[in-house]
């Protein structure tokens, strides 16, 4: 079992120590701005979690919450304000945005130096080129899990299922980089992939970000493979007290019997994602020459 909770705690302890020593030396704490427009349930839960986690490590968090009716112009002005505030090191804009707002316009407005989610095309471009940049939190979390659990990726056949801009695509890019803890042979699959089961069953490391509860069953997995499950879902389950349970994109009970290592859901990638966002905020602070 790959324990994401434990790893997240390790990373957060490292960050908390660094922040405490900055404050001991009379410096300001790192400062993250979170922009949210509308009432998307998953976004609100995520923002609550950001607030809890930033507090835990001593990072300041300012929430800029707007109604879904906010105009694109007003939202762009809010981001401008954050960009121009030297006391703010990092900025994230919670997606999805209300339908009348052009997401790409908003993402492009964020100062790339504060773009701790790595959504801005400049940072995505750097990622493609293998240049130093913020790594998107979820793919970064997966790479941290592989590294800290000493799972060899060099030359291994890695199959990434999902090609979204926030998970599948950047994850595949990180795995294929010519760097230590990467150097994999990577296949990217998506909804048009033919013989998905056969392709997945050839993977030494199967990384799943498909957004479909328990889609990947034992037939998709090679005996002894490593399985990384990025998916996260709340599904109805009347046998539980709460009436629901949390699961991933992988059918954990059957796949875990067959593979060498697996990330659980919850307690896997998701826990580390938050720690990686905090890491990026600290990196933005350290690069902010105005301190
Ligand atoms: P998206 O819906 O944006 O992307 C899903 C991808 O899966 C698409 O590329 C899609 O293909 C592909 N796909 C869908 N159905 C199939 C299929 N039947 N066969 C093969 N490929 C398929 O999702 P995200 O990348 O944003 O998220 C994926 C999962 O990860 C979700 O469960 C989400 O909740 C979770 N998540 C978890 C995070 C964490 O920190 N743990 C953070 C972000 C997301 P196509 O491009 O052709 O449509």
Q: pLDDT, tens digit, for every residue of 113-145?
A: 999 999 999 999 999 999 999 999 999 999 999
- CA–centroid distance, residue 231 to ligand 1 (Å): 7
Low-confidence ranges of the chain (pLDDT < 70): 290
Region of 220 on the Ramachandran plot (φ > 0 left; ψ -120 to 50 alpha; else beta): alpha
- DSSP-assigned letter for residue 218: G
- CA–centroid distance, residue 238 to ligand 1 (Å): 26
Q: Where are the beta strands (DSSP E) in the chain?
A: 31-37, 60-66, 90-93, 157-161, 185-189, 205-208, 226-229, 233-236, 244-247, 261-262
- DSSP-assigned letter for residue 134: P
- CA–centroid distance, residue 233 to ligand 1 (Å): 11
Pairing of strands 233-236, 244-247: antiparallel
* Euclidean distance between CA atoms 191 and 66, whole angstroms: 35
pLDDT of residue 11: 97
- CA–centroid distance, residue 286 to ligand 1 (Å): 33
Ligand 1 site, residue 190, Cβ cutoff 6 A: yes
pLDDT digits (tens, 9 = 90+) for 77-99: 999 999 999 999 999 999 999 99
Ligand 1 site, residue 53, Cβ cutoff 6 A: no
Ligand 1 site, residue 199, Cβ cutoff 6 A: no
Alpha helices, DSSP H, located in 25-136: 41-57, 72-84, 103-109, 121-129
Residue closest via CA to ligand 1's atom 2 equals 211
Q: Give me the residues paired with residue 62 across strands.
A: 33
**Residue 63: helix, strand or coil by DSSP?**
strand
- CA–centroid distance, residue 139 to ligand 1 (Å): 13
pLDDT of residue 40: 87
pLDDT of residue 289: 73
**Cα 207 to the chain's mean position, in Å?**
14
Atom index in ligand 1 nearest the CA of residue 168 equals 25
pLDDT of residue 42: 85
């Amino acid at each position: 079992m790959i324990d994401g909770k434990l790893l997240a705690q390790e990373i957060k302890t490292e960050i908390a120590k660094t922040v405490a020593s900055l404050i001991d030396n009379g410096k300001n704490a790192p400062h993250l701005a979170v922009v949210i427009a509308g009432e998307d349930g998953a976004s609100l839960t995520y923002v609550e979690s950001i607030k809890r986690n930033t507090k835990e490590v001593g990072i300041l968090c300012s929430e800029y919450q707007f109604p879904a009716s906010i105009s694109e112009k007003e939202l762009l002005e809010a981001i401008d304000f954050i960009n121009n505030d030297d006391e703010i090191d990092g900025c994230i804009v919670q997606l999805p945005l209300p339908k009348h707002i052009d997401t790409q316009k908003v993402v492009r407005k964020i100062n790339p130096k504060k773009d701790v989610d790595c959504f801005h095309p400049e940072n995505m471009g750097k990622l493609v080129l293998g240049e130093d940049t913020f790594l998107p939190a979820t793919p970064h979390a997966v790479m941290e899990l592989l590294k800290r659990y000493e799972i060899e990726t060099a030359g291994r056949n890695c199959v990434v299922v999902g090609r979204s801009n926030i998970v599948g695509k950047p994850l595949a890019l990180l795995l294929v980089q010519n760097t230590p803890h990467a150097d994999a042979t990577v296949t990217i699959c998506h909804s048009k992939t033919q013989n998905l089961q056969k392709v997945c069953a050839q993977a030494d490391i199967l990384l799943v970000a498909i957004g479909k509860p328990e889609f990947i069953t034992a037939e998709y997995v090679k005996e002894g493979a490593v399985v990384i499950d990025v998916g996260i879902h709340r599904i109805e389950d009347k046998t539980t007290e709460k009436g629901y349970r949390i699961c991933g994109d992988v059918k954990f009970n059957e796949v875990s019997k067959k593979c060498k290592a697996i990330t659980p859901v919850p307690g896997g990638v998701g826990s580390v994602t938050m720690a990686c966002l905090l890491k990026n905020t600290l990196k933005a602070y350290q690069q902010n020459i105005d301190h």
